Structure 1
Amino acid sequence: MGIHRTKFGREIAKNEHGRQQSRHDRADTNDEPNLIFSCSITELSGKCLDITPYASPCRFRMLSCLSLEHENRLDVFEFDQLPSGEYCAVSYVWRGVPVPDYVDSGTFTVRGAEDGDPTSLDVLRDIVWVAGEEGKKYLWLDRIGIVQSDKSDKAWQIIQMFNIYKESTCIIVPGGLGRLAFSNDDTTCMDRAWTLQEALAPKRDDVIVLYSQNPSLQFETHVASLSFTDTREKPLRSGRTSVPAAYMTLDDVLTVAKYSIHRPFGFNQAHAQPLIGARITGVGQRQAIWQCALMRTSSRPVDMIFSAMHFFGILLNPKEFEDDDRLGVTVRFAQGILEDSRKGVLDDSDHWLCALYFMETSQQMSTFPYVCHEVKISIGGPETIVRRPSRGT
């Protein structure tokens, strides 16, 4: 049998798990996690990971931190229920900061997610180390936890996403999975739709930012001098990567972005102010969340609503909408909000529609502003993503 390769040319990594269980030959329920895929890091390097033949639909899937840290293996487990309090979830941008020339054997891709940056094994090890420092056994990473080539599994996972992050300690990797960002890198982390939910769903103290450490940069010099905030910059153990890494709470990063001239990871005051408000429980929180959501973009128009709906108690089925049906999903979302308003469920529901009153209103829904969407352009050079008002909402 010949070597199986993806259309992008990468060889498929072999499942070295002794019993390669079919997605259809397991029991419907199982209290214990089920190992569905296992391979050495040596086998995975430079290849493509495809768990599709071994994954059962509508299950939670996580990596074992212990296997990766101590055995140099990537083990993927399936769960029927979330292992609450036992895992970290990763928040990152699909395409992150530029990656210098690197050896291809130090990365891997995932079947169905080849349009994103390859995952650096060094970055994955750093994430796993942080999870271990936080006392967690498992790691949820969407490009592995979701069967990327299965639309039904994707739809189910989108509905579960809020609870996945709510029950986790969230590790934000602002520069993406290609390399850890330095504090002076201009990232798009605060511009993406899904990263809003990922930053707000967990408890405030359970959201941390992982980055490359450079004590000479202004941000880290400034953090070291602060006395009004309980900063927790924690360097990773020496020898972990060629560039030392550290992590600290998102609250600390936002405090620096709000009260200083520094723009850590590209976060500015316009990013920090509404996000800080959205992280404070009370009157006006939903309005602050809606403000944040309207200022973000997504490659799939419907994700602008799917990524925010849980904060308003609205649950829509992704299967009922096409990827570009921004108008349809927004109408259904607004109908749900107004119905809850009539029931008296939302304390500040009469204010959220005016979250950004200064933006031009939509022709289809006059109470809504135009929502930005992505446009890819290329003029004699690399492809660039720009933001434009969407005429579909």
Structure 2
Amino acid sequence: MDPLPDISFDNTENAFAYKTDKSLRKAQFLFSSMGFGFLVKLGTLITPWAIRSGLPIKGIIRNTIFEQFVGGETLDETASVAKTLGNFHVQVILDYGVEGGDYGEKGLDHACDEFIRVIDYASTQPNIPFMSIKVTGLARFGLLEKLDEAAYAKSGYEGKVHTEVLTAQEKAEWDRVIARMHRICSTAAAKHVGVLIDAEETWIQDPVDALTMQMMLQYNQEKAIVYNTIQLYRHDRLQFLKDSYQAAESKGFILGAKLVRGAYMEKERKRAEEMNYRSPIQPNKEATDRDYNQGVEFCIDHIDRIATIVASHNEYSNLLATKLLAQKKMPLHHDHIHFSQLYGMSDNITFNLAKAGCPVSKYLPFGPINDVIPYLMRRAQENSSVSGQTGRELGLIKKEIARRRK
């Protein structure tokens, strides 16, 4: 195997240059707490209930987990975080953190307006090339569930949405969802901002895939504007990626693919067990890693037709992408490659990739605490369940604190 490009993810001076001593100590406390699984489990059960009940805990959340993983409650608050990251050549994927609630049509229209406001803002900033949306911020969850059950599933990569199962009222509702997506994607195309459509739970993912493919067919003719998120901790997603590529090739558009491992593992396994169907999740981490790395290789092998975002906290997967580019004598800043990690995690990857000249961003959510609670609970669970992640974060933070003391 050829040597990897000279990028070290152990350089904590680069990784945490943007953090003050105080914010480093706060991060150390938070990740230490996440190491206690029972605390995380208790917190993820109690916190959403406490927020709904109006208990005075928002201040605690704001000063701990919110500050670590979220840019702010408003776009203005988030702008200062984005500016700081930009000073270190790190770009931003802006995410208005609304998802999966029972917002009603008025609330869904409001979310659409907010997404467009984010696009308008991103288009004025030099280091915000992308924004992110969740279809559950634009569509009623139950409607997506009903569409998913329509057994058209396997044709998601063809952009087919079978609406025969819907009532006339529901068809009109779905038409409004499509109209919201067109508003967002047409604005993004006009303003040259990429739209990353987040993955959802498997039991609503198929209509999301199909809708995303419809948007790519229209808006990705000349450059990648719309990206689908492919969760490779699902055992069927590597094939889905290949099928999506075939669709892009035959229909003449650029496939936008954000490759992630996934964020709903415990929920997915539990539901599969309770409802007695085969779990969509890979049997083990090794299978996930294999499919993820094969996905990266497949995308780079077809880089002329696939614009890829390597959205990973796995050090090897990120280095693999740089190695494959080097082998093909392609620049690290190729137009069809981008790297990304979540804000508040894996700074050692993000900032060292940036230092090496890679286009890399932080996925930066913002929004009222009530709206971003589902996102924050996933971050807490992820850091307690991903093998070694919390330990790795803690070790690097402690190493940097010790370096600064010297």
TM-score interval, smaller chain: under 0.3
Which has a greater percent of strand? 1
The structure whose residues are more often helix, as a share, is 2
